[in-house]
Amino acid sequence: MSLKYKRVLLKISGEALKGQDIYDQEKVQDVARQIITLVREGLQIGVVVGGGNIWRGNLSSNLGMDRINGDYMGMMATIMNGLALEATIKSLGYEKVRVYSALEIKTVTTPYNYREARDKLNNGYILIFTGGTGFSYFTTDTGASIRAIEIKADALLMAKNGVKGVYDDDPRTNPKANFLKTLTHREVAEKKLRVMDLTSATLSADAKLKIEVFDMNGENNIIKMAHGDLDSTTIQ
Ligand code: UDP
């Protein structure tokens, strides 16, 4: 089985790690195991993880909190997820893993530096990019586009939970929605397809970043995606 890409950026949402509690151990281990398998096969892999299993900025209004503070809490949630993933990867026997953070937390994360990141990828490290962009009013999707561009990833693998890619309408409400196998960045914008947020889509289009949207729910789907053995929507 050959790898479709040499270097990828995998974006997973925080929800993908969630069970009844903020973490479902099996889910976190499954993601970690698949990443380790791929790195051992020679794939260079950076991971951007969201924070939605713990906190999203738009919850701030419930507490009468300033949105900006709420967003920073969301970014901190992504750091928690990165640390959880790092610990799990190590517990499964892979030591070469590093958590970068866009927000400075010197004690448990490494401040982000793209040159160092590229070096580490060349040397078999799994890199987990946390803290999103480091700015409020952004999302981890945008963080994922930026990091994918900066590490010169061949593709951004955008993992969805339970949807196999992009449709021309919402498949959960419209059973007649058509699955779209390939799209251009221009089509995504013109058809207003909500694959990712607008900032992330614009950045990806500018940088001509190839994006694969796929369903990570399913046995070894991340591995299958990296081998090109899974239905996905390719945007380029
Ligand atoms: N966030 C932010 N700036 C960023 C990335 C994330 O302010 O660059 C905040 C935002 O409040 C968001 C929360 O962190 O709601 C969690 O991130 P996101 O919703 O993107 O995570 P996901 O839904 O992918 O788990």
Pairing of strands 97-101, 166-167: unpaired
More confident residue, 197 or 123: 123
* Structure-token match 């580490």, residue found: 120
pLDDT digits (tens, 9 = 90+) for 18-44: 999 999 999 999 999 999 999 999 999
Ordered by start, the domain boundaries in the chain are 7-235
Which residues contact ligand 1 via a Cβ below 6 A?
Answer: 13-15, 50-52, 56-57, 70-71, 74-75, 77-78, 132-133, 135-136, 138-140, 142-143
Q: Which of 96, 72, 99 is nearest to 84 (CA)?
A: 99
Kindly state the percentage of the chain with pLDDT values over 90.
94
CA–CA gap between residue 226 and residue 211 (Å, rounded): 12
Q: Closest residue (by CA) to atom 12 of ligand 1?
A: 56
pLDDT digits (tens, 9 = 90+) for 83-122: 999 999 999 999 999 999 999 998 999 999 999 999 999 9
For ligand 1, pick from 139, 158, 194, 195 the residue to mutate: most ligand atoms within 8 Å of CB.
139
Indicate the SS3 state at residue 126: strand
pLDDT for position 163 = 92
pLDDT for position 192 = 87
Known binder of ligand: residue 186?
A: no
pLDDT for position 18 = 97
Q: What angle do CA 178, 184, 187 make, to 5 degrees?
A: 65
Known binder of ligand: residue 122?
A: no
Q: Which of 51, 57, 47 is nearest to 100 (CA)?
A: 47
Known binder of ligand: residue 64?
A: no
Residue 230 CA to ligand 1 center (angstroms) comes to: 27
Residue 12 CA to ligand 1 center (angstroms) comes to: 12
For ligand 1, pick from 13, 54, 75, 199 the residue to mutate: most ligand atoms within 8 Å of CB.
75
**Which architecture does CATH list for 7-235?**
3-Layer(aba) Sandwich (3.40)
pLDDT for position 1 = 72
Residue 42 CA to ligand 1 center (angstroms) comes to: 30
Q: Where are the beta strands (DSSP E) in the chain?
A: 7-12, 44-49, 97-101, 110-111, 126-130, 155-160, 166-167, 179-180, 182-183, 211-215, 233-235
CA–CA gap between residue 220 and residue 112 (Å, rounded): 29
Q: Which of 53, 96, 98 is nearest to 76 (CA)?
A: 53
The answer to whether 112 and 101 have CB atoms below 8 angstroms apart is: yes
pLDDT(8) > 80: yes
